[in-house]
Amino acid sequence: MPTTATLYYAPDGFDTGRAKLMGRHAAGEGMLGGLVRHAGFDRMVALCGSEADAAAFRAQVAGFDPAMPAETLGAAELPRLAETGCLMLPGPDLSGFAWRRRRESRQAAFSLTGITHTIASASAMDAIAGLLVAPVQPWDALVCTSSAVQGAVRRLFQGEAHYLARRLGASRIEGPALPVIPLGVDTTALAPDPAARAEWRARLRVSAQDILVLHHGRLSFHAKGHPLPMFLGLARAAAAAPAGARVVLLLSGWFADAHQRRAFTEMAKALAPGLAIRLVERPETGTTLRAAADLFTLLSDNVQESFGLAPVEALAAGLPVVGTDWDGLRDTVRHGVTGFRVPTLLAGPMDDLAARHDTGMDSYDSYIGGIAQFTAVDVGAAEAAFAALIGDAGLRARMAAAARADALARYDWAVVVRQYHALWAEQATLRRAGRGERAAPLRGEEPMPRRPDPGRLFADYPSGRLAPETRLVLAPGLADAAAALARVQALLAVTGIAARRELLPSTESFQMLLEGLEAGPATAGALLAGTPPGRAPRLHRALAWLVKVDVLRQARDAA
């Protein structure tokens, strides 16, 4: 199968070796690995902003599969995206490339496909709302990783569309398609591993009879999940555990700072003083750690969460999940089958939090922390879920088997990549149909109204403009084209004479222009007559530069 998509690659979106690891980094790395292994591409292709990024892409692809060819395109090669038909972006901002496509290519030359991660930040919300005024087309898509995120994106679209309709009288306001496709995981790497289980449990001083509950990810009370429901629910459930079974909570992950570490430590002492707790911090957060656990928990209460990759990794590892009935977990955890979803309650109104964040009075962390503070997780339901799994080994075994089977069927990258292939095929069908293009540029219209040709935008600045009818002549003292060309070459040898030398034409082109003036004054149009359309703008500008450096003058100034 030929390659059907190009990735926009910047290392930040695919790097899990960074100090401040976020879900989008793990998701990006996982998607790249999933495409290398399961997409059936004949080569991996990336659009890169620099040679350093291109080298990083080639190295990362080789790390997944040394035999996979890796091809990179430079920023100036956007039209070549038609070769694969789609540009995959690691975030929701399609606007910049939609405008570039309108300027540099046919709109139906290729599709754009973005993906949501967190959509709570101001920049993400601005990017999503901006899609309604950007030149996105029916063959473009913003992939939502969960149905909850899809609902939030639609609300952003609805609010922006209502404003545009009232402000501008717009009657047809359309964004990209919003398919729901989950993130995937490497189910082979996450398979239960009895040897790793024995090794980790020995290292953690956890016996075969103990019940180990794993919480993995960022340890953040304001940006991931407040630990109070987990500490209270587990401590109470642990008190009623079967005889001889000790409940141990394993916190695996990383603290953002000393304040988070102190908060988790103090809350654990205050809320669950009798609960056995282990802590494994980076770098010991490899996939084999999950093999040690008997169940997994993530009681997320944060709008920064949008999918929840860690619970899906836990399902793939054969762990029942106690999660919240919240965002992406509502799609991934099958209540009563692969685990339990704990009810959540969101307060309101919170317009003041939105306003404070918008004006810069509150940081992003303060904004999401404020929302989380007024989001409740049902502690009683969490306790009941923990108690059910702690007290019934048979239930744990049944849910573990169901969890693994569900991950294989729904979240293995091979399964997820097939959904992307179906999306790319649908986008290609729409492009080939060539109908329904929104706001196709008219002849002579600026393709990018906010970034127009500066020669037209600033037309009121100069005394006049170099037009086809402008008559030019060699400057006084220049007897012929040879003398004029010699002056050009001497000037170009002086530092600063031409700040952007690469924008000027070749010596041969200068000679051609100057020879056209040996017989006397000529118009700019006459000098460029017969020039191929692709070269004409460059030569037209060069005439103005020759006037700038006093090699040419306007004919009326010659005397």
Tell me what the mean pLDDT of segment 241-266 comes to. 94
**pLDDT exceeds cutoff 80 at 311:** yes
Which pLDDT band holds residue 465 (cuts at 50, 70, 90)?
very high
If we measure between CA atoms, which residue out of 461, 463, 454, 481 comes closest to residue 546?
A: 481
One-letter amino acid identity for 173? I
Q: What residues form DSSP beta bridges with 114?
A: 142
The pair of structure tokens assigned to 52 is 């350093």
Buried b (16+ CB within 10 A) or exposed e, 187-212: beebbebeebbeebbeebebeeebbb
User: Which tens digits make up the pLDDT trace of 154-211?
Assistant: 999 999 999 999 999 998 899 999 999 999 999 999 999 999 999 999 999 999 999 9
Q: Are 141 and 178 in contact (CB under 8 A)?
A: yes
pLDDT of residue 193: 96
**Alpha carbons 359 and 367: distance in angstroms, whole number:** 11
Tell me what the mean pLDDT of segment 93-97 comes to. 96
**pLDDT exceeds cutoff 60 at 283:** no
pLDDT of residue 559: 41
Q: Are 180 and 422 in contact (CB under 8 A)?
A: no
**Alpha carbons 386 and 166: distance in angstroms, whole number:** 51
- DSSP state, residue 242: P
**Alpha carbons 458 and 317: distance in angstroms, whole number:** 62
**Alpha carbons 14 and 53: distance in angstroms, whole number:** 11
pLDDT of residue 278: 97
Q: Are 275 and 247 in contact (CB under 8 A)?
A: yes
**pLDDT exceeds cutoff 80 at 435:** no
168: part of which helix (H) or strand (E)? helix 147-168
**Alpha carbons 311 and 120: distance in angstroms, whole number:** 20
- pLDDT, mean over the chain: 94
pLDDT of residue 1: 47
The dihedral formed by the CA atoms of 87, 93, 96 and 97, expressed in degrees to the nearest 10: 10
**pLDDT exceeds cutoff 90 at 2:** no
**pLDDT exceeds cutoff 50 at 466:** yes
**Neighbouring residues of 243: CB distance < 8 A, sequence distance ≥ 6:** none
Which pLDDT band holds residue 21 (cuts at 50, 70, 90)?
low
**pLDDT exceeds cutoff 70 at 18:** no
- DSSP state, residue 249: E
If we measure between CA atoms, which residue out of 273, 277, 328 comes closest to residue 145?
A: 328
Q: What is the CA radius of gyration of the chain?
A: 31
- DSSP state, residue 486: H
Tell me what the mean pLDDT of segment 367-387 comes to. 97
10 Å Cβ neighbour count for 373? 15
Q: What is the 3-state secondary structure (H, E, C) of 44-102?
A: EEEEECCHHHHHHHHHHHHHHCCCCCEEEECHHHHHHHHHCCEEECCCCCCHHHHHHHH
CATH of 194-411, one of 3.40.50.720, 3.40.50.300, 3.40.50.2000, 2.60.40.1180: 3.40.50.2000
Range list of β-strands (E), 475-538: 522-523
3-state secondary structure of 426: helix
First and final C-alpha spacing in the chain: 69
**Alpha carbons 447 and 127: distance in angstroms, whole number:** 20
**Poorest-pLDDT segment among 87-101, 233-247, 355-369, 431-445:** 431-445
pLDDT of residue 19: 62
Q: What residues form DSSP beta bridges with 215?
A: 251
Q: Are 296 and 214 in contact (CB under 8 A)?
A: yes
Q: Which residue has the tokens 């902003």?
A: 49
3-state secondary structure of 300: coil
**Alpha carbons 128 and 116: distance in angstroms, whole number:** 9
Tell me what the mean pLDDT of segment 34-53 comes to. 96
Q: Which residue has the tokens 């995937």?
A: 184
pLDDT of residue 286: 65
Q: Where are the domains of the chain?
A: 6-183+418-433, 194-411, 454-557
Which pLDDT band holds residue 282 (cuts at 50, 70, 90)?
confident
pLDDT of residue 3: 73
Which pLDDT band holds residue 222 (cuts at 50, 70, 90)?
very high
pLDDT of residue 436: 81
Tell me what the mean pLDDT of segment 340-364 comes to. 96
Please state, in angstroms and as integers, the Cα–Cα distance from residue 11 to each residue in 23, 24, 49, 145, 191, following that order.
15, 12, 10, 21, 28
Q: Which residue has the tokens 């069927």?
A: 409
Q: What is the 3-state secondary structure (H, E, C) of 327-367?
A: CCHHHHCCECCCEEEECEEECCCCHHHHHHHHCCCCCHHHH
Which pLDDT band holds residue 27 (cuts at 50, 70, 90)?
confident
Q: What residues form DSSP beta bridges with 48?
A: 9
If we measure between CA atoms, which residue out of 552, 23, 12, 533 comes closest to residue 253?
A: 23
pTM: 0.91
**pLDDT exceeds cutoff 60 at 29:** yes
**pLDDT exceeds cutoff 70 at 557:** no
User: Which tens digits make up the pLDDT trace of 104-159?
Assistant: 889 999 999 999 999 999 999 999 999 999 999 999 999 999 999 999 999 999 99
If we measure between CA atoms, which residue out of 169, 163, 183 comes closest to residue 118?
A: 183
